[in-house]
């Protein structure tokens, strides 16, 4: 390096890099921007300066950054690393260890259990996990002060574990109150600001996991149409390589087409978190000799789309009655004067009238298909609404779709007598098998009194499954395996 040049860095660790850079003949500046690549500009952002060998370029940079609205904090390399050891290394360790533990346990949170605190924490995790693992490894491994701090932290965690294991309520309360006192000056601001953030993210549900793609090729797949419905959007997302999609007017028609081998697979909605079981799908399963070969869940999000370019132009909102009902609060708050018109499907009104004063409540892919302007996304009142779909076929074959189907679906017919359900459940309980679903269906169409639709957390392809069926036959005059499903 020439003497009139400047050697600087952009690292989160300062002691060792600055020590090495100081060997250069040039000016030397240890620099650390306290923000990531998601920040669009320097306004109100902090940049740390650890000045080692001054020359004019250091003051040039300082002036340049300040002109763009940045704050410059000058500090020694040692003090910088001590601060970062707590505020970055320790914090990142806690967050990374937390989410890694969840992944090891294969924990899948139920949507309704996603608390406000978890949603806020998920934002922090997302911000970390979208960055470079090498960067975070360096922060954890090369900060000269972090090793000792981590040792004390682990010891503190062990002591906290003893307090909880011993049910020491007073000591727990003491710790909590000390923490409260430590952050007392920030608590009111933090509470109000976090509430503001939650209002924003409530429109973008925080959830873990994603819909798995089924990569089957050259398949004819039927669904509840027409094109543009939620069923269509679900099939497009899950079967991206399907040869051809066939829309049907009813769920029963999808079952008939599969039974008659007109199509290879059918995709039908079976259950919704708000509406419950789809009765037409259940009774079609009873009536047709087909099998469920897989299942998947998709979140239901409604968008307001139109040929109009802004919300103020909308005077009429059209959609299926369910969609209108599920967006009632949003419509009352944002379009209180608009006329609401129920239609036979979410797609039907788009095909009839595309006037600019009409808004349609539809899935986002439908808006893209019909080249409509998306005015507002995720306008549903309940942001944790899912629909579960079954994939049906003429035959039940192991790994037909390349997915691990760990659950088995059964229909069980029973005569109505005291204790019959207890006896059936004991067949599963004695083998430590959990039931993820159990629904009773009046069996007016058969000689039996009730039919139970059951989902077991046990694979049909396991060697001992025949013994389960044999034991069930003692209590059930009719037992039918209707397929397999993913554990969701």
Q: Domains of the chain, with CATH numbers? A: 6-75 (3.40.50.720), 82-201 (1.10.3660.10), 220-300 (3.40.190.10), 303-376 (3.40.190.10), 404-485 (3.30.70.260)
Own/partner pairs, 24-30, CB within 8 angstroms, 24+ separation: 24/53, 25/1, 26/1, 26/2, 26/53, 26/55, 27/53, 27/54, 27/55, 27/56, 27/57, 27/58, 28/52, 28/53, 29/57, 29/58, 29/61, 30/77, 30/80
> Residue with structure tokens 């509470």?
191
Q: What pLDDT, on a 0 to 100 scale, did the predictor assign at position 446?
A: 54
CA 337 to chain centre: 34
Direct distance between the N- and C-terminal alpha carbons of the chain, in angstroms, rounded to an integer: 59
Count other C-beta atoms under 10 Å from residue 247's C-beta. Answer: 18
Structure-token pair, residue 422: 């207890």
Nearest to 118 by CA among 206, 189, 209, 204: 206
pTM of the full structure: 0.59
Label each residue of 303-356 as H, E or C: EEEECCCCHHHCCEEEECHHHHHHCHHHHHHHCCCCEEEECCCCCHHHHHCCCC
Q: pLDDT tens digits, the chain, 488 residues: what are they?
A: 899 999 999 999 999 999 999 999 999 999 999 987 767 789 999 999 999 999 999 999 999 999 999 999 999 999 999 999 999 999 999 999 999 998 898 887 766 677 888 888 888 888 888 777 888 899 999 999 999 999 999 999 999 999 999 999 999 999 999 998 888 888 888 888 887 777 666 655 555 555 667 777 778 899 988 888 888 888 888 887 766 889 998 999 999 999 999 998 999 999 888 778 888 898 898 889 899 988 888 888 899 999 998 898 999 999 988 889 889 989 998 899 999 999 888 888 888 888 889 999 998 888 988 999 999 988 888 877 888 999 999 888 754 565 567 899 998 887 767 887 888 888 888 888 888 888 887 765 555 566 888 999 888 888 889 999 999 988 888 889 998 888 76
> Residue with structure tokens 């760990």?
406
C-alpha span between 350 and 366 (Å, rounded): 10
> Residue with structure tokens 């409509």?
372
Structure-token pair, residue 359: 């808004």
DSSP secondary structure of 352-418: H---TTEEEEE-HHHHHHTT-EEEES---S-TT-EEEEEEEESS--TTTTS----EEEEEEEE---T
> Residue with structure tokens 């797949």?
221
C-alpha span between 233 and 382 (Å, rounded): 19
CB 331 within 8 A of CB 324: yes
Instruction: Give, as one character, the DSSP assignment of residue 445.
Output: T
Q: Which helix (H) or strand (E) holds 277?
A: strand 276-277
CB 373 within 8 A of CB 449: no
* Rg of the chain in Å (alpha carbons): 30
Q: What pLDDT, on a 0 to 100 scale, did the predictor assign at position 131?
A: 78
Q: What pLDDT, on a 0 to 100 scale, did the predictor assign at position 403?
A: 58
Ramachandran angles phi, psi of 143, nearest 5°: -80, 120
Label each residue of 7-63 as H, E or C: EECCCCCCHHHHHHHCCCCCEEEEEEECCCCCCCCCCCCEEEEEEEECCHHHHHHHH
- In the chain, pLDDT over 70 holds for what percent of residues? 92
CB 31 within 8 A of CB 9: yes
Which residue spans within 187-234 are E strands per DSSP?
220-224
Residues ≥6 apart with Cβ < 8 Å to 174? none
DSSP reduced 3-state for 294: strand
C-alpha span between 378 and 205 (Å, rounded): 9
Tens digit of pLDDT for each residue in 123-151?
888 888 877 788 889 999 999 999 999 99
Q: What pLDDT, on a 0 to 100 scale, did the predictor assign at position 14?
A: 95
C-alpha span between 180 and 389 (Å, rounded): 47
> Residue with structure tokens 């922060």?
139
C-alpha span between 203 and 383 (Å, rounded): 7
Residues ≥6 apart with Cβ < 8 Å to 317? 304, 324, 331, 335, 338, 339, 340, 341, 358, 359, 360, 361
Q: What pLDDT, on a 0 to 100 scale, did the predictor assign at position 317?
A: 94
């Amino acid at each position: 390096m020439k003497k009139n040049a400047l050697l600087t860095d952009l690292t989160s660790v300062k002691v060792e890099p600055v020590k090495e850079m100081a060997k250069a003949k040039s000016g030397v500046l240890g620099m650390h921007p306290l923000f990531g690549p998601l920040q669009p500009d320097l306004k109100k952002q902090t940049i740390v300066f650890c000045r080692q060998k001054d020359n004019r370029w250091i003051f040039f940079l300082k002036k340049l950054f300040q002109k763009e609205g940045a704050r410059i904090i000058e500090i020694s390399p040692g003090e910088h690393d001590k601060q970062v050891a707590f505020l970055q290394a320790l914090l990142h360790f806690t967050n990374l260890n937390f989410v890694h533990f969840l992944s090891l346990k294969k924990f899948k949170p139920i949507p309704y259990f996603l608390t406000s605190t978890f949603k806020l924490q998920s934002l922090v995790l997302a911000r970390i996990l979208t960055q470079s693992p090498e960067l975070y490894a360096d922060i954890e491994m090369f900060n000269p002060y972090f090793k000792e701090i981590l040792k004390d932290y682990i010891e503190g965690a062990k002591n906290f574990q003893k307090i909880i294991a011993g049910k020491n309520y007073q000591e727990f309360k003491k710790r909590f109150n000390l923490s409260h006192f430590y952050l007392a000056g920030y608590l009111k601001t933090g509470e109000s600001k976090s509430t503001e953030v939650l209002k924003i993210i409530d429109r973008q549900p925080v959830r873990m996991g994603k819909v798995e793609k089924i990569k089957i090729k050259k398949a004819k797949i039927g669904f509840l149409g027409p094109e543009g419905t939620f069923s269509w959007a679900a099939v497009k997302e899950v079967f991206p390589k399907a040869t051809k999609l066939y829309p049907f007017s009813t769920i029963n028609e999808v079952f008939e087409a599969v039974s008659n081998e007109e199509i290879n697979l059918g995709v039908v909605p079976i259950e919704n978190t708000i509406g419950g079981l789809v009765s037409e799908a259940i009774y079609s399963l009873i009536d047709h000799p087909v099998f469920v070969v897989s299942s998947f869940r998709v979140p239901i999000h409604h968008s307001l789309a139109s040929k109009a370019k802004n919300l103020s132009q909308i005077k009429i909102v059209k959609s299926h009655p369910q969609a209108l009902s599920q967006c009632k609060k949003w419509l009352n708050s944002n379009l209180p004067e608009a006329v609401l018109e129920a239609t036979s499907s979410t797609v039907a009104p788009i095909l009839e009238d595309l006037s600019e004063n009409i808004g349609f409540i539809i899935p986002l892919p439908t808006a893209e298909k019909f080249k409509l302007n998306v005015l507002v996304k995720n306008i549903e009142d309940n942001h944790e609404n899912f629909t579960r779909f079954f994939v049906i076929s003429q035959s039940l074959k192991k790994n037909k779709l390349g997915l691990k189907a760990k659950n088995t679906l059964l229909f069980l017919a029973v005569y109505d007598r005291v204790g019959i359900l207890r006896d059936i459940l004991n067949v599963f309980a004695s083998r430590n098998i959990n039931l993820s679903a159990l629904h009773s269906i009046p069996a007016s169409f058969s000689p039996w009194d009730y039919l139970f639709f059951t989902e077991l957390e046990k694979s049909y392809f396991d060697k001992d499954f025949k013994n389960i069926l044999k034991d069930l036959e003692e209590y059930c005059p009719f037992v039918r395996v209707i397929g397999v499903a993913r554990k969701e």
